[in-house]
Chain A
Amino acid sequence: AQSVAQPEDQVNVAEGNPLTVKCTYSVSGNPYLFWYVQYPNRGLQFLLKYITGDNLVKGSYGFEAEFNKSQTSFHLKKPSALVSDSALYFCAVRAITGGGNKLTFGTGTQLKVEL
């Protein structure tokens, strides 16, 4: 079975400061990893994904994520946070082999960026 843990329900950061949203995963074999963002009363929007190759993945809106196989982590980062980044962020994992295209999501982390 595959699973994702997002240990922080909420992350608060001041605008202009760097932000990190944490994610760890468990899957048999190698993973595909994803980050999605959800704004209030909206569906989820794809941010970025790790499939293979460079461990640092760059995505939409200046976000990036670092894949760390030894720590089974895929933390989301941004060098300088904006108030408009405030939203709910979901990490998701899919096993490379088996399971079709099923994604398993974490419980989400609410990011609040304050002036």
Chain B
Amino acid sequence: NAGVTQTPKFQVLKTGQSMTLQCAQDMNHEYMSWYRQDPGMGLRLIHYSVGAGITDQGEVPNGYNVSRSTTEDFPLRLLSAAPSQTSVYFCASSSGTQIGGYTFGSGTRLTVV
């Protein structure tokens, strides 16, 4: 049982490049979300999904796109990377019947130069 798997673990991008951060879970969780973690700012919600085909914006959605074509996968796309997007990104999932109880991935450390 792998839980929540994020790839890659590390990435360096040049300003203006695009990329996709992958997130997959094998727990049949309905709810998935993406957070970014920055020093002194805690975790901020970027986008979330309550099920396949349904996504919504969180607190800091600008510059990011998501889609949820399957229950298992929830990729995060950076359209045109900017240095302000240098951060650690976490994907999390939870059952729709559980209150809280998020399972987090191990994170992707992204540097935009």
Binding site for B on A (CB under 8 A): 4, 6, 9, 32, 34, 36, 41-46, 49, 51, 90, 92, 94, 100-108
Rounded to whole Å, the gap between the CB of B22 and the closest CB of chain A is 15
Query: B30-53 interface mask toward A, CB cutoff 8 Å, 1 = contact, 0 = none?
Result: 010101000011111100101000
Residue of B nearest to A43 (CB): B104
Q: Which of A32, A49, A51, A90 contacts B42 (CB under 8 A)?
A: A90
A-B contact count (CB 8 A): 65
> Which of A6, A44, A51 interacts with B102 by CB under 8 Å?
A44
Q: How large is the interface on B (under 10, 10 to 19, 20 to 34, 35 or more residues)?
A: 20 to 34
11 pairs across A/B with beta carbons < 8 Å? A43-B4, A44-B90, A49-B100, A90-B42, A94-B99, A94-B100, A101-B99, A101-B100, A103-B102, A105-B35, A106-B42
Q: Which residue of B lies closest to A46 (CB)?
A: B101
- In the complex, whether B25 has a CB less than 8 A from a CB of chain A is no
Q: Which of B35, B48, B90, B106 contacts A100 (CB 8 A)?
A: B48
Q: For the complex formed, measure the closest distance between the CB of B81 and the CB atoms of chain A, giving whole angstroms.
A: 22
A90 B106 Cβ-Cβ under 8 A: no
**Which residue of A has the minimal Cβ distance to B107?**
A43
Return the contact of A45 from the options B42, B50, B104 (Cβ within 8 A): B104
B45 contact set on A, CB distance < 8 A: 102-104
Q: Is the CB of A101 within 8 A of B58?
A: no
Q: A43-B105, A100-B50, A101-B31 known; A107 and B40 CB under 8 Å?
A: yes
Name B67-113 residues within 8 Å CB distance of A.
90, 92, 94, 96, 98-107
Flag if B43 contacts A90 (CB, 8 Å).
Answer: yes
